[in-house]
């Protein structure tokens, strides 16, 4: 079974070709610290070939949602050390996903500060979770060039911190409508300087961040997650095929560990410019290892690997509910169903109490 075959990734040999996708669980405390339950949560899932952590805020400014963890204080680094040490002790490999939410936040979560973004364009038609309930999105504050330069340095420092915390590598979260994705998208980026207006300029922020991360962590330890067809958080690309082709060609010049592609389905009638098959369209453009993500099952994941473009399949909610997912796939046995009511926030229920196979 391809999913259970070991594979080399960077300088690591993974025990199988299954990755645990990054999933926000909102179990950190108000200081962005993860605790003992988070250590156990990741340890339980160490049989994944690769664990990609939940999204981790690179700075105080990066925070968009309550009770999400950080990687910018000594205490946060030390808290994550307990996670990585436990995962390694159990034979696992774990990458840190670095996160800046940009406009996907609210001042109620940011001590009264407005969210920042490439341009002062609000998300419409959605609401954001705060500790005071769901709220409409605010118009974000457009970043200055000086602030953009600082955020790039924040990503660099967070990469240094992640390696100090014992992670095996880092993944830039450049998908699903967060800050790097906002720079990529025409709908969110209306700048007319070097960071907007053309494909080359809209790609610039992501490429500058990735260059800094790669120099910081070293060859084969930096990665990126992209979602060329996702429209979540009001993200729309006028010509995604042209733009992401250009972006991936530039990323191919860097010594990355992998590119993590989200194969998000779209209504073709509403977005005729979007490719239907993300993995085959963009995965073949690069020499880097491709991880395919979004809604895969045991059977569809196996079929994706059989095509030869993707080398790993990442699973989100299936790993959330099945800490021993590789064993369940091996035996082709029943799966626990994820409880969506306990995915975000709360205590240990729906977090570390999903049963293993007998």
Tell me which residues are annotated as active site. Answer: 178
| Measured CA distances, 90 to 45, 46, 186, 248, 324 (Å) | 9, 6, 44, 34, 13
Q: Which helix (H) or strand (E) holds 130?
A: strand 127-130
DSSP code per residue over 199-263: HHHHHHHHHHHHHHHHHHH-TT-EEEEE-TT--TTT---SSHHHHHHHHHHHHTTS--SEEEEE-
**Which of 302, 262, 263, 323 is CA-nearest to residue 97?**
262
DSSP string, 49-111: SEEEEEEEESSSTT--STT--BSSSHHHHHHHHHHHHHHHHTT--EEEEEE--TTSS-GGGTT
Residue pointed to by tokens 């995915």:
343
Helix (H) or strand (E) holding 181: helix 179-184
């Amino acid at each position: 079974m391809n999913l259970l075959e070991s594979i080399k990734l960077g300088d690591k040999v993974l025990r199988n070709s299954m990755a645990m996708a990054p999933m926000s669980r909102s179990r950190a405390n108000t200081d962005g610290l993860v605790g003992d339950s988070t250590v156990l949560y990741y340890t339980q899932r160490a049989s994944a070939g690769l664990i990609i952590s939940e999204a981790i805020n690179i700075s105080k400014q990066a925070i968009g949602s309550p009770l999400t963890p950080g990687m910018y204080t000594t205490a946060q680094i030390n808290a994550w050390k307990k996670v990585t040490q436990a995962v390694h002790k159990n034979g696992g490999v774990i990458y840190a996903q670095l996160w800046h939410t940009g406009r996907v936040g609210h001042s109620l979560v940011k001590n009264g500060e407005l969210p920042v973004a490439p341009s002062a364009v609000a998300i419409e038609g959605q609401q954001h979770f705060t500790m005071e309930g769901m709220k409409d999105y605010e118009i974000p504050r457009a970043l200055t060039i000086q602030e953009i330069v600082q955020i790039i340095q924040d990503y660099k420092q967070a990469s240094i911190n992640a390696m100090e915390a014992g992670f095996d590598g880092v993944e830039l979260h450049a998908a699903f409508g967060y800050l790097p994705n906002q720079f990529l998208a025409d709908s969110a980026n209306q700048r007319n300087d070097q960071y907007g207006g053309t494909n080359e300029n809209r790609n610039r922020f992501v490429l500058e961040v990735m260059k800094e991360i790669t120099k910081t962590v070293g060859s084969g330890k930096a990665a990126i997650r992209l979602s060329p067809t996702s429209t979540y958080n009001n993200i729309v690309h006028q010509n995604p095929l042209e733009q992401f082709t250009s972006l991936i060609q530039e990323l191919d010049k860097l010594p990355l560990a992998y590119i993590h592609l989200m194969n998000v389905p779209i209504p073709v009638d509403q977005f005729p410019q979007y490719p239907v098959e993300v993995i085959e369209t963009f995965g073949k453009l690069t020499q880097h290892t491709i991880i395919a993500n979004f809604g895969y099952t045991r059977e569809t994941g196996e079929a994706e690997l059989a095509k030869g473009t993707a080398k790993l399949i990442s699973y989100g909610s299936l790993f959330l509910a099945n800490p021993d997912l590789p064993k369940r796939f091996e035996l082709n046995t029943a799966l626990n169903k994820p409880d969506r009511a306990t995915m975000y926030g709360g205590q240990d229920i729906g977090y570390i109490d999903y049963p293993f196979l007998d």
